[in-house]
Chain A
Amino acid sequence: MTPPALLIPIVLPILGAAIAATAGRAGHGIARASASLGVWGAAVAVVAIWLPVRSTQEISLGQLGFGSPFDLRLDMIGLVFSLAVLIPAATLLTLQPRTWQENTVAGLGVAAAMAAIEAGGVLMTAVAGCTAATLVVIQLDVEDLRAPRPSWALLLAAWLALAWAGVVLQVVGGTAVYAAVPVSAMTVPVFALLAFASIFGGGLVPWRGWTSAIWSRTSLRAAGLAVATLQPLALYLFVRAYELGDGHYPQSWLNVVLAAWGVLVAFGAAARAQAATTRREYMAEVLPGLAGFALMALAVGSALGLIAALILTASTAIIVIGIALLPDRGGAPSLLVTAAAAGVPPGLVFGGRILGLGAAIEAGGAMGLVGLAGVATWLVAAAAAARSVGLPAGRGRSAVETLPRVAMMIGAAMLALGPALALAYLAASAAAADVMNVPALAQATGLGTIVTESTVVPVVSLLGPLLVVGAIALALSKRTGLTPRTGEPPPLFPLYAAQAAARIVNALRRAAVPSEYRSLFNPRALENVAAGGTPLLWLASIVALAIAVTR
């Protein structure tokens, strides 16, 4: 594969979108086929480009004009995140019906996300990421203008922050290209900007952020794609931050703070999930919870943590499909997807969390305490998942956009994939080696086991038999054991903080200038004075300027 091939994964979705836009009017089927084929093609292309070489490939296509070279790069990290974006997007575009406009915007959004991942520098990632975010907002508005969507201003702020981080790197270090930034340029302020971009761009917040809110939309077609596109990008930035810092964040306390934030995000989601009144409300909290655990693992700072984070990111990418295709009603599909997402053994999420939390505790010190909190949070999430089985469905979704059988298969597959954890570990450790030094111990893992600092996890030999025994036992078990639910189960604990926050927000929303003081600030009068061509104002401002510059 020649380096220009790196353009193919970006160009194919654009091509698909273009066909969807032109031929889509003829029939939504054509738009659906072209858009999904474009994204599938990109997924195949990424693998086909990487496989023959199995090492980083780069291409530089000159300067773009705003201080950023048009550099594209595909390394193993890029491959993992590309697939984490492309596979769910392609599946959802294939399985769910959309109008040609939605298909077009979705295809372009995926292309932008690919460009952000393949970008060789921070600035180009910022431009492409902001494009993806903009298109996600447009896609959500096209689907339903009045339904909840992420704040455009917040997303723009996030990507502008990344752009700012890029220019600071250019000013301080002379370049914002990932591979060339001097370690000394990766300072705490730059990391803070990057973290801001990642946290708000990906909705990684402990409170009810956009990643939760968009699941209250009537249709979840765009919501699924939005999370599938933007959340991996957010985590991707934190991974690249390791590369910028030569395998470390600027200060070790940043790791602890970020990991604690990750646990907070997961706990916030779990707390809201356990108080959900419908199954839809519960499902809205699943993905933020998964992202929180991935963030915690990522922030540990060790190779094992990063590997766990990559495994959790990949798992989330698959679970997104399941949740987006799941009908609101209960039953086996809902139970299996919920179990897989909650990290029930021997699932892949279970394995990822074991590694991530293990990495935190093995790191010791404050990070160990964060790991402890993580385990407790995991159990809260498990309790919420258990409670959700008895919840009413909530607002129904159009049957055409749900595929319970596919969702059930995804849930079952995610539970059955536990024994494949070692394989995922091998792939993730190869990816992690792109951005940090992975100890030989972690690399020299056989297919069956995973060696950590203090233990060995016998993945295949332990989870394999457990899976087999479990499958046999479940096959024999009596389904009638499921007790019928009587009414909506009460929350496990009330959300006092959320209630207080809601009260404050409402109070702020209702805040207004008291009527007796309104005459002091009259915007209309102000506008009339400013825009009325008033010579007196002109002369006064000249005098003011003269005084300002001559004193």
Chain B
Amino acid sequence: MTAVAAFVAWIGGAVILVADGRRGLALGLGLVTAAIAGLAFAAGQHAAAIAVLAGGAAAAALRLRSGPPGWGLTQPGSTPRIILAIVIGILALYFATSLSTGDGSPLRFAWLVVIALSAARLLDCEEPATALTAAATLALGIGAVASLPPAAAGLAAAIVAGLVAAGISALPEVRPHGA
């Protein structure tokens, strides 16, 4: 179950990395939210799971309001991003399973892929909607790190993460006014 959730997290992150349309971005954000909530649920952090789910779902829904229309999943020039998503997945798998020890490899994998893929997206986008989606995903990822074992912040961190993610998606798009 947790392994599936971790895989879904990677898929969601990869979609955010690849997608350029509002639907694609919302889908990715939704998948990441679902994965993290699932992991939290599996770890017995039910309240945290609900908080992340609420925040993430709101963020995904709000994302559908603005940004370039459509899915924009296989735009020309997206191949390098697909490869990058795969490379990040493999590296995350190495760190989560081979290098680190103990239980919870799926959890670690999910943390790594969500944060790394959203960071990669942040570095490679010009569109405000895309950047804000990546930032919201980042918030959910960090919230997951804080709310799931062995961290102590628990519910509070999950609530803050959910609020931040939703808040980010709620923000209007800004265009430069020229210096």
A contact set with B: CB distance below 8 Å = 535, 538-539
Interface of A is mostly: helix
Residues of chain A within 8 A of B124, CB atoms compared = 535
Determine the residue in chain B with the shortest Cβ distance to A539.
B123
Residues of chain B within 8 A of A535, CB atoms compared = 123-124
- A37 vs chain B, min Cβ distance (A): 55
Residues of chain A within 8 A of B123, CB atoms compared = 535, 538-539
List B72-126 residues whose CB lies under 8 Å from chain A: 123-124
The 0/1 profile, CB within 8 Å of A marked 1, for residues 116-139 of chain B is 000000011000000000000000
**Whole-angstrom CA separation of A539 from B123 in the bound complex:** 10
B contact set with A: CB distance below 8 Å = 123-124
Nearest first, the 4 A-B pairs at minimum CB distance are A535-B123, A535-B124, A538-B123, A539-B123
**Whole-angstrom CA separation of A538 from B124 in the bound complex:** 13
Residues of chain B within 8 A of A538, CB atoms compared = 123
**Whole-angstrom CA separation of A535 from B123 in the bound complex:** 6
Determine the residue in chain A with the shortest Cβ distance to B124.
A535
What are 4 A-B interface contacts by the 8 Å CB criterion? Answer: A535-B123, A535-B124, A538-B123, A539-B123
- B68 vs chain A, min Cβ distance (A): 22
- B99 vs chain A, min Cβ distance (A): 11
Determine the residue in chain A with the shortest Cβ distance to B122.
A535
Determine the residue in chain B with the shortest Cβ distance to A534.
B123
- B131 vs chain A, min Cβ distance (A): 13
**Whole-angstrom CA separation of A439 from B99 in the bound complex:** 76
Residues of chain B within 8 A of A539, CB atoms compared = 123
- B98 vs chain A, min Cβ distance (A): 15
- B116 vs chain A, min Cβ distance (A): 11
**Whole-angstrom CA separation of A539 from B124 in the bound complex:** 13
- A15 vs chain B, min Cβ distance (A): 49
- B89 vs chain A, min Cβ distance (A): 17
**Whole-angstrom CA separation of A535 from B124 in the bound complex:** 9
**Whole-angstrom CA separation of A88 from B154 in the bound complex:** 73
**Whole-angstrom CA separation of A538 from B123 in the bound complex:** 10
**Whole-angstrom CA separation of A425 from B165 in the bound complex:** 83
**Whole-angstrom CA separation of A292 from B123 in the bound complex:** 64
- A546 vs chain B, min Cβ distance (A): 12
Determine the residue in chain A with the shortest Cβ distance to B123.
A535
- A550 vs chain B, min Cβ distance (A): 11
**Whole-angstrom CA separation of A390 from B123 in the bound complex:** 77
- B112 vs chain A, min Cβ distance (A): 14
- A135 vs chain B, min Cβ distance (A): 41
Determine the residue in chain B with the shortest Cβ distance to A538.
B123
- A467 vs chain B, min Cβ distance (A): 79
